[in-house]
Amino acid sequence: MKRGCVQFVGAGPGDPELLTLKAARMIGEAEVVVYDRLVSPEILERVPRGATRLYVGKMPGCHAVPQEQINALLADLARAGKRVVRLKGGDPFVFGRGSEEALHLAHHGIPFEVVPGITSASGCGAAFGIPLTHRGLATGVRYVTGHCREDDELDLDWRGLADPQTTLVVYMGLANLPIICARLIGAGLPAGTPAAAIAEGTTPRQRICHATVETIAERIAAEALESPVLIVIGAVVAFGAELAEMQAASDAPERHHAPRLVVA
């Protein structure tokens, strides 16, 4: 019997041209593609017509397929001799639970490979000219998840995160954003710290909303931004907005694949 394997492939933030060459090749050679909610339609168009597509996406409070079943599914497909691509938005090992799935396969002696992808923080920030670090503005960057396992209360190092010299990127934080912002301000982060919400970054549907850490949750609600939304907090957000204005003023050509829809 042919021996199967599982390839954890990072689909990046959405733009298919941001796939690595290896990721694009593996998607094109897949027999089965097990994919998440955050994989863009443009990426899925690259799945071969003859390949089986299995959707196992999750939304807050609504898991179409429990994680334990996903783990078992990957193992069963590999045992059946299939070449499986486990396709995840962004990077499979950055808030994607890819490492948990890989651990399950390792425990059962099933071969796997990990192909990194551009994580949403890098891709979405770059799409709107927001550097995650910039000399004199941010000496570091922190990635945190705004969603807790089993809907537990967020337990983050709020004092450490409330550092004006650090860019904070919040994944999956839409539902808990009012709490996150209040805790950051309570820990000492100035309420006027620039913040941005980026929806479906790097795709033709991308939008950005600028505000402050005190007002970003209200702005998102007012502009009806829907998941997936990435939150960026820090001085670099204002730099990105200024850079975009300078670019527009110079009549620089826009990216052909992703129009910049900006909610000021």
- Listed by start position, the domains of the chain span 5-118, 121-263
Query: Distance between CA atoms of 43 and 134, rounded to whole angstroms?
Result: 31
Query: Distance between CA atoms of 189 and 26, rounded to whole angstroms?
Result: 44
Under DSSP, is residue 63 helix (H, G, I), strand (E, B) or coil?
strand
Is 36 tagged catalytic?
Answer: yes
Task: Select which of 15, 58, 82, 91 is catalytic.
Answer: 58
Pairing of strands 207-212, 194-199: antiparallel
Is 58 tagged catalytic?
Answer: yes
Written as one letter, the residue type at 193 is T
CATH code for the structural domain at 121-263: 3.30.950.10
Task: Select which of 36, 82, 91, 163 is catalytic.
Answer: 36
Per-residue pLDDT of the chain (264 residues; tens, 9 = 90+): 467 899 999 999 999 999 999 999 999 999 999 999 999 999 999 999 999 999 998 766 555 689 999 999 999 999 999 999 999 999 999 998 999 999 999 999 999 999 999 999 999 999 999 999 999 999 999 999 997 665 567 889 999 999 999 999 999 999 999 999 999 999 999 999 999 999 999 999 999 999 999 999 999 999 999 989 999 999 999 999 999 888 888 865 555 444 444 444
Pairing of strands 166-171, 229-233: antiparallel
CATH code for the structural domain at 5-118: 3.40.1010.10
